[in-house]
Structure 1
Amino acid sequence: MQSDAQAIHDWLKEHKISEVECLVPDMTGNARGKFIPAQQFLSQGDPKLPESIMIQTVTGEYCDDHWDFVEPTDADMILKPDLSTLRVVPWAREPTAQIIHDCYKMNGERHPLSTRNVLRHILDLYAAEGLKPVVAPEVEFYLVARNTDPDYELMPPKGRSGRRESARLSYSIDAVAEFEDFVEDMYDYADEQKLQVDTLIHENGAAQMEINFLHGDALSLADQVFIFKRTVRETAHKYGIYATFMAKPMQREPGSAMHIHQSVVRADTGENIFAEADGTHTPAFLSYIAGLQRYTPELISLYAPNVNSYRRLAPDISAPINLNWGMDNRTTAFRVPWGPPAATRIENRFPGADANPYLALAATLASGYLGMKQGLTPTQPHQGTANEDDVEVARTLEEGLRNLHNTPELQDMIGDLFLRAYAAVKLDEFEEFNRVISSWEREHLLLQV
């Protein structure tokens, strides 16, 4: 720890940093924390935050039961900086650093309400087996025109041609070029922060983009997605537009996902345990898929954490509605892309772009881990269009949360306290949303029921 502290000190001095953003990912996956002058950051020891910030709703409220999950005194958490996350803030006017912190209780234990700690615990279980997950997220988002009145529907922004997109332009090079300045700055910001972004494509929606990350360590990739979302929003603000990671921001456009490619390798040799040398799928591969099929219904609210999330999980080709898997079949929930044995992997297509990356990764890796430990057997790979089959997952946040406490082994892995707090926070959000009377109800029910 002392060597890490010295490394942070030297880095801040080398980059002439005047301010430090101390970041903590909250339950929604957004940044909480403090701005601290660099000199105070170096001299005052570990910062602290009240633990109650970990159980705030997306609107900043507290659920009725919040004192069941934190100390009635609203005790502090100790924040420990993670050296591997130290980065510049490229959009800041003054030389500014950002560093993600881990949360600890005052007795030195990892804080159970920290989403980063939830993922750390899952990775520790893999490490105890001599295994290491390898993941590669694909994150979709929309660019939209500035919208300061929530009563108005969103619309695509004007590109350099002065026109808005009005047609399906999947993989269009020219459509991306409409926002060339935004894209170039986004890549520059990502490069300055050492984010391992790979390809950019135009997705199916109007002004909808997708960024693929290079495969790597799960905690590092969760950190990168967390930082990437901030980066894209800041870049968009620079050009007078918004970037949104809502799962379904526009009625007539497809939703935005965070597909997670995943495999498991032996920690000592790097050998992929999903395939034999001749490409044959191993029992571990099949059991991992079976684990995803078995536990996704209980964990769907970690992939789809908001009331809006379930608008994306609809019977069309863009998002899964059941638990089928298949070879290179994008209509299934769990797709196995073609590739050489060393690259054998599973793509979980359930998570939305609005998911907390730490929780989405924890959920998918926990499911696969349990599948392997229990030797579960999957269904046969699906042939044809899976979206023609029955819906097998929750269609509302409330339904998804009701399934969250069904499995003791998941409570042990993710943490009973965390799951109860998560459910309480998200149910509070659902009830607040449920009190809103929509324009559809006024239009169709006002004079006709």
Structure 2
Amino acid sequence: MSTDTQAIKDWLKQHQISEVEVLVPDMTGNARGKFIPAHQFLELGEPKLPESIMVQSVTGEYSDEHWDLVEPTDTDMILKPDPNTMRLVPWAREPTAQIIHDCYKQDGEPHPLSSRNVLKRVLELYEAEGLKPVVAPEVEFFLVDRNTNPDHVLIPPKGRSGRRETSRLSYSIDAVAEFEDFVEDMYDYAEAQNLAVDTLIHENGAAQMEINFLHGDAMDLADQVFIFKRTIRETAHKHGIYATFMAKPMQNECGSALHIHQSIVQADTGKNIFAEADGTHTPAFLSYIAGLQRYTPELIAFYAPNVNSYRRLAPDIAAPINLCWGLDNRTTAFRVPESSTAATRVENRFPGADTNPYLAMAATLASGYLGMKGKLTPTEPHQGTANEDEVEIARSLEEGLRSLDNSPEVREVFDPLFLKAFTAVKRDEFEEFNRVISSWEREHLLLQV
């Protein structure tokens, strides 16, 4: 028995687990998999899933290019558990474990359609250079009333006062206290799953919250965000409300982001390569930022992967619209917070809360890596409000997809089959959405054009 298998067996026994959730993050960043009785989990061999689930759209449909992306026989993927991801499922009625699995082809090679493998591929580039990324995500979400009719607009839920929020209550302690029971259960669930959640704040939107994670390993934090989004939804269900990570769920409210703070350290010493001893920024740091500026237009679809995502990336709603960077400037896309030398970092403010965390991490780290390798030079740090400058990014999913693999550097970092699959699936989603006639069109165009 391998060391990993023994560790899993001992953990399941220690926690008296009766059922195991075999989890695989799909292209959207949601959980696919199987439920397996614990006594069978290690006895039945490696679980399997059809590879076609990795190329389903958010509506559950398949692209017209489906059979160009997977084997015509719809071959099974081999799933291997990562013992570092073993967690309890605190909302389950019986003792239940959840374990994230990696996907492999039949020949033992990592499966290229797995978003977790996409991030692994980028992290291996850093490992080959003796470097290690350190990241800290910030995840925003809205609490909303239960909504079973998609034709109805979303509204904030009632808090303990019996009222709904209508004011802008950024950082309000009392506004968070309106949902005290939800918050307490959320923290209990997070602790039970060893999620490194740090601070909770009330964001600018009505019943909009933000959770900050402690900094750490990029793969571990991507796993934690993946689990955290499940956790928040489950906590909300317990309290009879919904939690949504849509990038722009309500017309008159701001959007929700998944900001990623990132720095790079030497793997052997832990020294931050972004700052000199006196705190000045290193050439590597400036090239990293230049990489973010250079490659974000091509990788924007990884940060904004849904048709709704681009409603957030608009002027005047506190989201980036261009490629500026700045020192402690929240209006820029790439913000360098005031910090100590060891904590010198850049915050990528492009990713929406609706992104697949593995792909967002991969995109931002790949951009910085390519910037450092190419010794690129950034613009001067932006002074003043960047939101008053020109829009420099795609304004629709279709436009973002057309830019996805424009450069040979991107095609070298990201597997060509994955790029093809992602583009095919997301383009189909865009075309399906584009067939829907909106109420705005009926209101303003029906009798006036």
- TM-score band by shorter chain is over 0.9
Q: Secondary structure, in 3 states, of the residue corresponding to 2:139? A: strand
Contact residue 254 and residue 317 of structure 2 kept, 8 A: no
Q: Note the alpha carbon deviations across 1:170-201, whole angstroms, 9 max, x for none.
A: 00000000000000000000000000000000
Q: 2: CA distance between counterparts of 1:148 and 1:321?
A: 33
Q: Secondary structure, in 3 states, of the residue corresponding to 1:444? A: helix
**2:89 alignment partner AA:** V
Q: Secondary structure, in 3 states, of the residue corresponding to 1:23? A: strand
Q: Secondary structure, in 3 states, of the residue corresponding to 1:341? A: coil
In the other structure, the counterpart of 2:239 is: 239
Q: Secondary structure, in 3 states, of the residue corresponding to 2:342? A: helix
Q: Secondary structure, in 3 states, of the residue corresponding to 1:361? A: helix
Paired residues for 1:344-383 under 5 Å? 344-383=344-383
In the other structure, the counterpart of 1:439 is: 439
Contact residue 274 and residue 345 of structure 1 kept, 8 A: yes
Distance 1:341 1:359, change over 3 A: same
Q: 1: CA distance between counterparts of 2:407 and 2:35?
A: 40
> RMSD over aligned Cα, in angstroms?
0.6
Paired residues for 1:250-329 under 5 Å? 250-329=250-329
Q: 2: CA distance between counterparts of 1:324 and 1:45?
A: 51
Contact residue 137 and residue 259 of structure 2 kept, 8 A: yes
In the other structure, the counterpart of 1:421 is: 421
Q: Secondary structure, in 3 states, of the residue corresponding to 2:209? A: strand
TM-fit CA distance, 1:344: 0.3
Normalising by the residue count of structure 2, what TM-score does the alignment of the two structures yield? 1.00
Q: Secondary structure, in 3 states, of the residue corresponding to 1:393? A: coil
In the other structure, the counterpart of 1:404 is: 404
In the other structure, the counterpart of 1:340 is: 340
Contact residue 255 and residue 317 of structure 2 kept, 8 A: no
TM-fit CA distance, 1:408: 1.3
In the other structure, the counterpart of 1:395 is: 395
**1:5 alignment partner AA:** T
**1:409 alignment partner AA:** E
**2:49 alignment partner AA:** L
Q: Secondary structure, in 3 states, of the residue corresponding to 1:209? A: strand
Matched, 1:131 2:128: no
Q: Secondary structure, in 3 states, of the residue corresponding to 1:406? A: coil
**1:102 alignment partner AA:** D
TM-fit CA distance, 1:302: 0.2
TM-fit CA distance, 1:398: 0.1
Q: Note the alpha carbon deviations across 1:181-234, whole angstroms, 9 max, x for none.
A: 000000000000000000000000000000000000000000000000000000
Q: Secondary structure, in 3 states, of the residue corresponding to 1:93? A: coil
Q: 2: CA distance between counterparts of 1:316 and 1:376?
A: 30
TM-fit CA distance, 1:317: 4.8
What is the total number of aligned residue pairs between the two structures?
Answer: 449
Contact residue 286 and residue 378 of structure 1 kept, 8 A: yes
Normalising by the residue count of structure 1, what TM-score does the alignment of the two structures yield? 1.00
Q: Note the alpha carbon deviations across 1:104-163, whole angstroms, 9 max, x for none.
A: 000000000000000001001100000000000000000000000000000000000000
Paired residues for 1:102-141 under 5 Å? 102-141=102-141
Q: Secondary structure, in 3 states, of the residue corresponding to 2:315? A: coil
Q: Secondary structure, in 3 states, of the residue corresponding to 2:370? A: helix
TM-fit CA distance, 1:414: 1.1
Q: Secondary structure, in 3 states, of the residue corresponding to 1:259? A: strand
In the other structure, the counterpart of 2:197 is: 197
Contact residue 317 and residue 331 of structure 1 kept, 8 A: no
Matched, 1:55 2:55: yes
Contact residue 140 and residue 256 of structure 1 kept, 8 A: yes
Listed as ranges, the gaps of 5+ residues in structure 2 are: none
Paired residues for 1:94-243 under 5 Å? 94-243=94-243
Q: 1: CA distance between counterparts of 2:389 and 2:160?
A: 42
Moved over 6 A (4+): none
TM-fit CA distance, 1:412: 1.3
Worse-superposed segment, 411-420 or 218-227: 411-420
Q: 2: CA distance between counterparts of 1:407 and 1:48?
A: 35
Identity score, percent = 81
Q: 2: CA distance between counterparts of 1:33 and 1:318?
A: 37
Contact residue 348 and residue 364 of structure 1 kept, 8 A: yes
**1:342 alignment partner AA:** A
Contact residue 307 and residue 396 of structure 1 kept, 8 A: yes
In the other structure, the counterpart of 1:430 is: 430
In the other structure, the counterpart of 1:15 is: 15
In the other structure, the counterpart of 1:41 is: 41
Q: 2: CA distance between counterparts of 1:129 and 1:99?
A: 30
Q: Note the alpha carbon deviations across 1:323-381, whole angstroms, 9 max, x for none.
A: 00000000000000001110000000000000000000000000000000000000000
Contact residue 88 and residue 193 of structure 2 kept, 8 A: yes
Q: 1: CA distance between counterparts of 2:67 and 2:413?
A: 23
Q: 1: CA distance between counterparts of 2:197 and 2:208?
A: 17
Matched, 1:87 2:87: yes
Q: 2: CA distance between counterparts of 1:225 and 1:363?
A: 16
Q: Secondary structure, in 3 states, of the residue corresponding to 1:347? A: strand
Q: 2: CA distance between counterparts of 1:47 and 1:337?
A: 44
Q: Secondary structure, in 3 states, of the residue corresponding to 2:188? A: helix
Contact residue 319 and residue 350 of structure 2 kept, 8 A: yes
